[in-house]
Structure 1
């Protein structure tokens, strides 16, 4: 099934908002500005991969080779959606820095 343009735009917006919100909450709770931006690539690789998390430790070579195959064969729409999630994670860090610079202590 081909992805239509409205579905792509809604998916990109949802991923951006989702990871912005998660990053914002993590930043408020843990006071680590760029935590979500560092964790997001791991989450994205887990989304892309077909292997279970434990297989990366028990069957390392096969799981990483299948991950590499899945990354190479991603559709452009999937790449755009995942990059919008990364943008949301980065924007949450930038928002926190701006709010802290303006004197909001809870952030």
Structure 2
């Protein structure tokens, strides 16, 4: 009985070891100095792409918006209108390129 338990434990340990993801880091030397490359590519937004409506709503929710009524694009800005948790009207103005919050109007 003890042998089966030991064998099962070794098999479980070996299986977990094979399933572990490989990680590698590198060092890059460039005009800005030395930096550590984490070994993965950022899947985030590229600088030349505007925010989506969903991204703008997520940013506005971090500013206190609870219920979204309307999302409008006005040139380089996105206006997200709705209400906060108390039911008061709120408008969050977000830069469509950087995602920075420009203004919060209550």
Shorter-chain TM range is under 0.3
Question: Could you tell me the TM-score, scaled by structure 2's length?
Answer: 0.21
Give the TM-score, by structure 1 length.
0.21
